[in-house]
Amino acid sequence: MKGRLFGNRYEIVEYLGGGGMAQVYKSWDRLLERAVTIKFLREGLTNDEEFVRRFRREAQAIASLSHPNIVNVYDVGREGETDYIVMEYIDGPTLKEVIRRRGPLPPVEAVNLARQICDALEHAHENKIIHRDIKPHNILLTNSGRVKVTDFGIARSTTQNTMTMDRTIVGSVHYLSPEQARGLPVDEKSDIYSLGVVLYELLTGRVPFQGETPIAVALQQIQEQPQALSEIQEEVPQALEEIVLRALEKSAERRYNNARALREDLEHVFTGTIVGRLPLDDDSPTMRLDLPIPLEKDRVSESNKTPQTEQKAKKVQEESSSPVNWKVLLSSLLLLALIAFASSFAWQRYMNVPEVMLPRVVGMHYREAIEAIQKEGLQVQVEAVHHREVARDLVISQDPEGNRMVKQTREVRLTVSQGPKLHPVPPVTGMTEREAILRLQEADFAYEITEEYSERGAVGTVLSQRPAANTEQPAGTVIELRISKGPQRQGLMPALIGLSAEEAKTLLKPLEVQIEQQEEKSDRHDAGTVLSQDPSANSRVDKGATVRITISTMAEVQIQEQEQKKVTPITLLIPEESSEAPVRILLIQGEQTKEVYAGTHKGGDTVSQQVEYTGQATIQGFINGEKVLERKVE
């Protein structure tokens, strides 16, 4: 495989690995001079429509995404019977390799990785794509520590760690959600469960459920609760354990609503704000609990005391043994009393803040949203971001969510769309179709191809593009490309045999072809009759091509007086499934058989021929050597 060239562009460099469905190679892109990853569907699976469909679905899924935490797809292709996907090359390990090498990760590092995975999933879910196979094996790390999620749309059905139900691959058994294990439909919350398993493994060095068979593990996913993280790793904060356990809830309704909510809790885990896990019989809203988390800098052991700290402590002790200054003491007590009173007053004011109903403003224009929220006496903070689907100035999300009671002092955060981010359209006119598509995909644009005949463009090159090059357009805009098919073909060659030379020239005139005329003596046809033609009737002919016709120069002398010359039209329809079909039409009169037409045609073509005869005759039509017509005429 090494050194082999695919798509006349990608040269195989080395084998990286593979699974039950695909093999992955590092390759070199000769056109753009960069390293890429190529994933090939395994030999033996190319004839399995289900595997081919899943393989192509992965390419379509990732190609529709554009996010720094998701592996980019550059190209897709097919070489012979082999499908392949060209992707971004990541020079780094998988998360599974990191866990095997290092074991449990520090909570801060694990949370940072999980937050990046949340970002990737949030983007995928916004684009209506569910990964369904989140696991450390499908998460790559760059040298800078950035997460790259890969393997969208593919679950390896031929490995022992993959569940298959009714030939539907539902995910890797140690990381699948309870609904996947049951074979039920899944949504975004299934990915959140799988991420919870990954985070559990990052913090403890092992997956929450293990068994001798995939079925045994799947049953645990459905029925059993995972062991507490703090029992395995004492340094896991309680706040973080609560987050993981909520992501691993058996009921999808009790998990986080989306990846963004999970990421926000991960951002607050080391600030003392956690999400309380709902008890099984409690349907109350999620509560946030503020817990004090001691900082390391406040923990000073006796063994860490220095001579300087001991000297300061001694000085304090000496000062404390001096005579009491009653004025200072009384002033201090009075100050403490005032502080306590003020604190109590402030606390009472906080507890007595009225609650108001927070309206739901998602989808509203931001001005109307702000007005509706301020009308309830609430403060508003607005963040503007680019968004492909939500129109400019409309509210994408709000925090807290609407239609709930909140204290009037609560600040409401709105995320408002600035519309899609604008990018300059790259100039692709004059490029080959393949080069143009690659440039547009790299610039985050879609494309639409229209082919047309042209005298000025080589076959397969871009004649024009719309919108025009260098104009600012939103990401994902469809760029219309007109691709040259070369000089236009004028149509089908008419049936000329049996016509007069003048009639033949009249039919050929609209085709703008060159006519080369030959003469041949004949005692069976009138003078000036077309005896043969090249190209044959119903074949395709280009503008400017040469058409050769043979004309009779002698009238027929052996026609019986009682017989008159007759002409009958014959039409044959070539079956659609035929690629190249030989066609023959025979005229049988007495013991004489004459071939009046012979040619080769494509499926769907219609062959028409005027057959000339005298007296009684039989006309036969053959397609692919099989007789399809027999007509007696007189």
> Which tokens sit at 525?
């046809």
Query: For residues 556 and 588, is the Cβ–Cβ distance under 8 A?
Result: no
Strands 514-520 and 478-484: unpaired
Local confidence band at 171 (pLDDT 50, 70, 90 cut-offs): low
What single-letter amino acid sits at 585? I
Give the strand pairing for 546-552 and 540-542: unpaired
Q: What is the pLDDT of residue 332?
A: 65
* Of 63 and 89, the one with more pLDDT: 89
Distance CA 24, CA 89 (A): 11
Pairing of strands 462-466, 489-492: unpaired
Task: Say whether pLDDT at 343 is over 70.
Answer: no
pLDDT given for residue 325 in this prediction: 59
Q: What is the per-residue pLDDT across 204-238, written as a single tens digit (0 to 9) for each? A: 999 999 988 888 898 899 999 999 999 999 889 99
User: Could you give the angle at which helices 188-204 and 259-268 cross, rounded to 10 degrees?
Assistant: 30
Residue of 133, 151, 191, 605 marked catalytic: 133
Structural domains of the chain sorted by starting position, each given as residue range(s) with its CATH number in brackets:
5-88 (3.30.200.20), 95-286 (1.10.510.10), 355-417 (3.30.10.20), 422-484 (3.30.10.20), 488-558 (3.30.10.20), 564-634 (2.60.40.2560)
Cβ atoms of 629 and 619 closer than 8 Å: yes
Using 50, 70 and 90 to split pLDDT, how confident is the model at 155? very low
Percent of the chain with pLDDT over 70: 80
Per-residue confidence band for 167, with pLDDT thresholds at 50, 70 and 90: very low
- Give, as one character, the DSSP assignment of residue 632: E
Q: What is the mean pLDDT of the chain?
A: 81
Q: Which amino acid is at 136?
A: P
Q: How far is CA 273 from CA 112, 267, 287, in A?
A: 17, 9, 10
Report the alpha-carbon distance of residue 34 to residue 43 in Å, rounded: 27
The confidence band for 108, taking pLDDT boundaries of 50, 70 and 90, is very high
Residue 33 pLDDT greater than 70, yes or no: yes
Q: Which residue has the higher pLDDT, 80 or 471?
A: 471
Place of tokens 């569910």: 130
Q: Where are the beta strands (DSSP E) in 123-191?
A: 139-141, 147-149, 162-165, 168-172
pLDDT of residue 102: 92
Pairing state of beta strands 10-18 and 22-29?
A: antiparallel
Distances from the Cα of 238 to the Cαs of 42, 107, 249, in angstroms? 45, 11, 17
Query: From CA 244, how far away is CA 198, in angstroms rounded?
Result: 10
Residue 334's alpha-carbon distances to 238, 320, 339, in angstroms, are 39, 20, 9
Q: Is residue 148 a contact partner of residue 90, using CB atoms and an 8 Å limit?
A: yes
CB 122 within 8 A of CB 130: no
pLDDT of residue 214: 85
Quickly state the pLDDT bin for 294 (edges 50, 70, 90): very low
The DSSP element (H or E) to which 55 belongs, if any, is helix 49-63
Query: How far is residue 171's CA from residue 85's CA, in Å, rounded to a whole number?
Result: 21
Annotated catalytic residue 133: yes
Q: Angle between the 188-204 and 95-102 helix axes, to the nearest 10 degrees?
A: 20
pLDDT tens figures, 68-84: 899 988 888 888 778 88
Of the pLDDT bands very low, low, confident and very high (cuts 50, 70, 90), residue 396 is very high
Q: Is residue 191 predicted with pLDDT exceeding 90?
A: yes
**d(Cα 340, Cα 438) in Å, to the nearest integer?**
69
pLDDT recorded at residue 560: 47
Q: What pLDDT does residue 452 have?
A: 86
Length of the chain: 634
73 touches 60 (CB < 8 A): no
CA–CA dist 166, 170 (Å, integer) = 10
Q: Residue 17 — pLDDT band, cuts 50, 70, 90?
A: confident
Average pLDDT score over residue span 117-141:
92
Q: How far is CA 562 from CA 3, 363, 555, 614, 615, in A?
A: 79, 90, 18, 10, 9
Residue whose C-alpha is closest to residue 373's, from 390, 392, 398, 393: 398
The answer on pLDDT for 538 being more than 70 is yes
Q: What is the pLDDT of residue 284?
A: 32
**CA–CA gap between residue 446 and residue 382 (Å, rounded):** 31
Euclidean distance between CA atoms 70 and 90, whole angstroms: 11
Interatomic CA distance for residues 94 and 160, integer angstroms: 20
pLDDT on residue 339: 64
Residue type, 100: R
SS3 of residue 565 by DSSP: strand
- pLDDT band at 326, cuts 50/70/90? low
